[in-house]
Amino acid sequence: MLTTIQEIYQSAEKLSQQEKIKVGGWVKSPIRQDKFIEINDGSCLKNLQLVCSPDLAEELKKINFNSSLIVSGKLILTPERTQSCELQIQQIEFINPVIEENYPLQKKNIPLKVVRDYPHLRAKTNYFLALFRLRHSVSKSIHEFFHQEGFYYVATPIITSNDAEGAGELFNVTTENKEPFFSKPGKLTVSGQLHAEALVQGLGKVYTFSPCFRAEKSHTTRHLAEFWMVEAEIAFIGLEEVINLVEKMIKKIINNLLINNILELEYFENYNQKEIITKLKKIVSADFKKVDYGESVKILDSASNQKKFVFNDIKWGMNLQSEHEKYLCQHFSGPVFITNYPADLKAFYMKNNPDGKTAACFDLLLPTIGELVGGSIREDSYQTLQEKADKQNLNTGGLSWYLDLRKTGYAPSGGFGLGLERLIMFLSGTENIRDTIAFPRYPHHLEF
C-alpha cells in the first residue's frame, strides 16, 4: 500500500532515508509558484506539500482542486519551515482530474447549507473530514470504554413488533408480497432497550451501538429520522452507579478527543466554535452536579421571579422545557444530572421510588444542547409494571415476553441511552444535526 500522510508526519526522519516513497491523495492546493502542490489523503487533517521540478510542472498545471493523484519521490526534511517535511516528486504515477461541471464544491469555504445538498461529496471538504474523523474517534472511545468496563456488545433487533416507549411515530416495514413476511406488523426500532434488558439477565453488562428510527415529520436542527443510539444495561446496579458510569464515559470520550483529535478541535475552534477546547477541558475537570427534580423545580421557580421563561408556570409535575434545562446548566455552570422525575412524566419501565410519585431515573443535561443521556432503574415488579403500562394505555400484548422477565429470576437492572449525533453536535459545536452523519435522513429527502 501507499505511505499515508499520517505515517509521513509520524516517521518523517526514517522515511526521508528511503530512496523513494509513494503517496496518493486529493489535491487541496493546485500548483503555486510553478512548484508547490498540497494533497490530503484522509489519514490526518494535515496536508502534504509536494514539490516538483520545472519539467513536471507543465503536466501538474493541468491538475485542479480535489483531483486525485499518486506520485513517488523523495521525502525531504524541512525543519526550518511550518511543515516539517515535503515530498520532491520524481514521478507522477496517476492523475484523475475533477470534471468541473460535475463538481459543485469547487470553491473553498462553501457554506455548510450548500454542502448539505451533496452528501456524496462531503468527504471532500475539510469541515466534514474533520467532523467524520471526530465521529470516528467518539465511536471508538465508546466501544473502548465499554470493553474496559467489562460490557458485552450485543445486537438488538432493528425490525421489531414493539414500540419501546409508546412514544413517537414509527416506520413500518413491509414487502411487495400480499402475504405478510412476518407474523406481526414490522416496525423500525426506536430503542433497543427492552431487548437489551432480556440479554442482561444472564450476560450481566451489555451495550448496543445501533441505528434507531423516528418517523416524526420534524424539520428542526435537532432531529433525524435515522440516528445511532448507544444503550447500556447493567444487572445488580443502583441509580447512583448508573449515573457515575455515564459521567465516567463522557469524560473518557472528551479526554480521548483532547489527546487524539486536538487538530480537529482546533479546526472547529477556528471555523466558528470559539473556545470549544476550553469548554471541553472544563467539562472533563468538573464534578457533574446531581440534583433532584424537586430541587431543580425550586431553583427554576426562584429564577422565574427574576427571569421570565417563555414557559413560566413553574411547578412540581411539569416537564422541563429546553429553556429550563439550559438555565439549570447555567445555574450550575456545567453538566447536571436531574434525578427522580415524576413517574407520570416518564416511560412505563422505569422503577417507581418508594414515595410512589417519582421514578428512579435521571437525565443528563449539558450546556447548549440540553438533554444528552436518559437513564433509569427498571421496574422489577411484574404487577407494578403491568399497572404502569395500563395507565399509559400501552398495548402490552406483544410485550408479554418483557413482563415475563420479572418472573424468571429477575436481577435488578438499570441503564441509559445516549444519542450519538447529539453528542457529536455538542463536541464539535456543529449547529445542525444533519451534519453529524454522512447521509442524514429527514422528511422529504432520500436522494442518496
Site for a second copy in 191-230 (CB under 8 A): 195, 198-205, 210-211, 213, 215, 217, 225-226, 228
The window from 46-54, 107-115, 121-129, 357-365 that contacts a second copy (CB under 8 A) reads 121-129
Residue span binding a second copy (CB under 8 A) among the ranges 20-28, 73-81, 289-297, 357-365: 20-28
The answer to whether residue 310 forms part of the interface with a second copy (CB under 8 A) is: no
What distance in Å separates the CA atoms of residue 338 and residue 327, rounded to the nearest whole number? 13
Rounded to whole angstroms, the Cα distance separating 253 from 251 reads 5
> Least distance (Å) from a second copy to the CB of residue 328?
28
**Of the two residues 201 and 392, which places its CB atom closer to a second copy in the complex?**
201
Q: Is 378 an interacting residue with respect to a second copy (CB under 8 A)?
A: no
What number of chain residues touch a second copy (CB under 8 A)? 110
Which lies closer to a second copy via its Cβ, residue 134 or residue 283? Answer: 134
CB of 402 to a second copy, least distance (A): 7
Indicate the residue type of 331.
Answer: H
Which CB, 36 or 103, lies closer to a second copy?
103
Three-state helix/strand/coil letters over 180-199: CCCCCCEEECCCCHHHHHHH
Scanning residues 51 to 90, which ones bind a second copy (CB under 8 A)? 66-68, 70
| CA–CA distance, 21 with 421 (Å, rounded to integer) | 39
Least distance from a second copy to the Cβ atom of residue 357, Å: 25
Asked if 439 touches a second copy (CB under 8 A), the answer is yes
**Binding letters toward a second copy, positions 386-425, x by CB under 8 A:** ------------x--xx-xx-xxxxxx-------------
Long-range contacts of 28-32 (CB under 8 A, 24+ apart): 28/65, 28/66, 28/126, 30/63, 30/64, 30/65, 31/57, 31/60, 31/61, 31/63
Q: Which of 165, 157, 149 is nearest to 192 (CA)?
A: 157
Scan residues 230-289 and list those touching a second copy (CB under 8 A).
234-237, 241
Q: Which residues between 90 and 119 bind a second copy (CB under 8 A)?
A: 94, 96-99, 102-103, 119
Cell representation of residue 398: 406483544
Query: For residue 310, how many C-alpha atoms fall within 13 Å in the half-sphere facing its CB?
Result: 7
Helix axes 262-271, 276-285, angle to 10 degrees: 130
The residues near 191 (Cβ < 8 Å, ≥ 6 apart) are 164, 165, 212, 229, 231, 417
Tell me if 299 sits within 8 A of 330, measured CB to CB.
no
Task: Select 160 or 352, whichever has its Cβ closest to a second copy.
Answer: 160
Closest approach, Cβ 240 to a second copy, in A, equals 10
Q: Judged by CB under 8 A, does residue 156 bind a second copy?
A: yes
Question: Using CB under 8 A, which residues numbered 127 to 146 contact a second copy?
Answer: 128-129, 132-133, 135-136, 139-140, 143
Shortest separation between residue 194's beta carbon and a second copy, angstroms: 9
Which secondary-structure segment (H or E) carries 300?
helix 293-306
